[in-house]
Amino acid sequence: MLGLLRYSSAFADAAPEILPLATARGRVLAEDLLSPVNLPPFDNSQMDGYAVHGDDLDGSAPLYLAVAPPVPAGAEPVALEPGHAAPIMTGAMIPEGAAAVVPIENAVPSQFPTTGQYCGEEGLTVELPVAQAGSFIRRAGSDLEAGSVALVAGTLLGPSQLGLLAACGLATVPVRPRFRVLLLSTGDEVQEPGTELAPGRIFDANTTLLTTALEEAGAHVQRHSVVADNPEELRGALQNIGGQVNLILSTGGISQGAYEVVKQALADSSVEFLSVAMQPGGPQAIGTINGVPFLGFPGNPVSALVSFEMFLRPALGTVTGLPGNRVCLPARLTEDVQSPEGKHQVRRGLYTDRSGQGEGIGDVTLLGGPGSHLLHALAASNALVHLPAGTGTVEAGTPVAVWLLGELRQGAQPLHPGNPTREALT
Cβ-Cβ contacts under 8 Å for 394 (sequence gap 6 or more):
333, 336, 337, 338, 339, 387, 400
Among 84, 87, 289, 349, binds a copy of itself (CB under 8 A): 87
d(CA 54, CA 80): 10
Q: Residue 301 half-sphere exposure, CB side, CA atoms within 13 Å?
A: 21
Binding status of residue 79 toward a copy of itself by CB under 8 A:
no
Q: Which of residues 268-287 bind a copy of itself (CB under 8 A)?
A: 273-278, 282
Please, what is the minimum distance in Å from the beta carbon of residue 137 to a copy of itself? Answer: 11
Binding status of residue 60 toward a copy of itself by CB under 8 A:
no
Cβ-Cβ contacts under 8 Å for 320 (sequence gap 6 or more):
28, 176, 179, 217, 218, 219
Site string for a copy of itself, 5-44 (x = CB under 8 A): ----------------xx--xx----------x-xxxx--
Among 31, 46, 81, 365, binds a copy of itself (CB under 8 A): 46
Please, what is the minimum distance in Å from the beta carbon of residue 253 to a copy of itself? Answer: 10
Per-residue three-class SS string for 349-381: EEEECCHHHCCCCEEEEECCCCCCCCHHHHHCC
Please, what is the minimum distance in Å from the beta carbon of residue 52 to a copy of itself? Answer: 17
Binding status of residue 75 toward a copy of itself by CB under 8 A:
yes
Using CB under 8 A as the binding criterion, the count of chain residues that bind a copy of itself stands at: 138
d(CA 197, CA 212): 23
| Minimum CB distance to a copy of itself smaller for 10 or for 368 | 368
Binding status of residue 98 toward a copy of itself by CB under 8 A:
no
**Are the CB atoms for 283 and 357 separated by under 8 Å?**
no
Q: Is the peptide bond before 109 cis (omega within 30 degrees of 0)?
A: yes
Binding status of residue 396 toward a copy of itself by CB under 8 A:
no
| Minimum CB distance to a copy of itself smaller for 291 or for 371 | 371
Among 174, 177, 287, 388, binds a copy of itself (CB under 8 A): 388
Q: Which of residues 293-332 bind a copy of itself (CB under 8 A)?
A: 299-301, 305, 310, 323, 325, 327-330
The residue type found at 114 is: T
Please, what is the minimum distance in Å from the beta carbon of residue 134 to a copy of itself? Answer: 13
Question: Where do the H-state alpha helices sit in 79-190?
Answer: 159-167
Binding status of residue 207 toward a copy of itself by CB under 8 A:
yes
d(CA 243, CA 10): 6
| Minimum CB distance to a copy of itself smaller for 80 or for 310 | 310
Query: For the CA atoms of 308, 314, 319, 320, what is the dihedral angle to 10 degrees?
Result: 80
Among 18, 197, 267, 396, binds a copy of itself (CB under 8 A): 197
Q: Which of residues 151-180 bind a copy of itself (CB under 8 A)?
A: 151, 156, 158-172
Burial class (CB in 10 A: 0-12, 13-18, 19+), 93: buried
Among 14, 216, 288, 318, binds a copy of itself (CB under 8 A): 216
Question: In a 3-state reduction of DSSP, which class is residue 113?
Answer: coil
Beta strand pairing status for 49-53 and 84-88? antiparallel
Q: Which of residues 336-355 bind a copy of itself (CB under 8 A)?
A: 342-344
Q: Which of residues 223-262 bind a copy of itself (CB under 8 A)?
A: 223, 229, 255-259
Stretch that binds a copy of itself, among 55-63, 90-98, 120-128, 333-341 (CB under 8 A): 90-98
